[in-house]
Structure 1
């Protein structure tokens, strides 16, 4: 699909009522939005395939849904530090923030430095970008040692006081995802949650209680990363005597 074909396709799907519905139901307030659901954009992105140059054109169009498409077709290996800084400053709601962080930023070589740098930002969706990238990076990186993820407990504890809804929810999400990487990080994340619970902030107590409720489940769904350590070795066939 060409740029013009994609733009025409987006305008064909335009629905102003969905703009209003998304704002009321999900708190997604966006400028220059056509009113297209994420699931429909995924179908279009699949037809397009990976295309960095086209993705840049779509972002520069200024159309909200075109920018969401950009996050889905841009190649992570092509991302640059300046481009990430340019994009993160434009995020206006959790949907576009998470779309870029989960589909693109967490898969880039700049994921870790940006998590650390953005975690102290004042603007709500720049700070959210730090923890949304972290939450996704927990699943994207299947080989790093526990020590890499343990360093993030410090910023999680430091930012647990932020009571803005789209910050406290993502801090909680990041803590839970670290705790679901493997059994050892699960125990450490639980300990961190109890430390956060001792803070005097309402947001910290909510983050801690919500994380503990999930991380302490009897049948919690947990990964085995890094797989080289947590995957059980296959047993060789042995002869029976």
Structure 2
């Protein structure tokens, strides 16, 4: 897989994601096939495994085993966005993985938190903000961006209390003495400001009957 997307893996054929999705679509919910594909170790096979697996059959043990094999952000984020966030054990894994030391393991914790928020799943988002604040100084690229993604996702929730809490967290981070924490906070605040401006403009148009 080429450097264009920042994904560096040795076992890859270079098959486009659209082709993988087309192959996987008629095979969905085949748990045994998904496990076999994952075990192959090939990048595209693992993406197909994620798309094919049956979320109802995914166990906490499988989540940990697959997570231990994450070595690039493409597989990490796809697993969280397309499969793991539909698994009942997902909220518990957020807290576990967010405290890991390896880069992609920790990335998975915050990517999963972001995906739960984006997809409207039930989770402890206030607790998630504490995890975000605790990891905001981790300067490793994929952890930093995962933390930022999760903060922005929680700040985009409709719940007023969560929106306020996310903005308060971002403000504290933006005022931090730590460079990485400041980046996380300032970037999230910029995103919140843009989203709030768009929402205000939409409300004005609606009020005028545009």
Of the candidates 146, 151, 157, which is equivalent to residue 181 of structure 1?
A: 157
Deviation per CA, 1:103-140: give whole Å up to 9, x if none: 11111111111100111111000000000100000123
Deviation per CA, 1:38-87: give whole Å up to 9, x if none: 22211111132221111111111222211110011101111111111111
Equivalent positions of 1:1-241 (< 5 A) are: 19=1, 22=2, 24-142=3-121, 144=122, 148-182=124-158, 184=160, 185-217=162-194, 218-220=197-199
Q: Which has the larger radius of gyration?
A: 1
Q: How many residues align?
A: 197
SS in 2 for 1:50: coil
CA distance in structure 1 between the partners assigned to 2:8 and 2:89 by the alignment: 28
CA gap 1:93/1:220 in 2 versus in 1, 3 angstroms: farther
What TM-score, normalized to structure 2? 0.89
What TM-score, normalized to structure 1? 0.78
Q: Answer whether contact 2:28 2:54 (CA < 8 A) is retained.
A: no
SS in 1 for 2:198: coil
CA distance in structure 2 between the partners assigned to 1:62 and 1:149 by the alignment: 33
Deviation per CA, 1:4-27: give whole Å up to 9, x if none: xxxxxxxxxxxxxxx3xx2x2121
Runs of 4+ in 1 over 6 A off after TM superposition: none
Structure 1 unaligned runs (5+)?
Answer: 1-18, 222-241
CA RMSD of aligned residues (A): 1.6
Deviation per CA, 1:141-161: give whole Å up to 9, x if none: 35x48xx31111111000000
Normalized per residue, which structure has more helix?
2
Q: Answer whether contact 2:11 2:41 (CA < 8 A) is retained.
A: yes
Q: Answer whether contact 1:45 1:73 (CA < 8 A) is retained.
A: yes
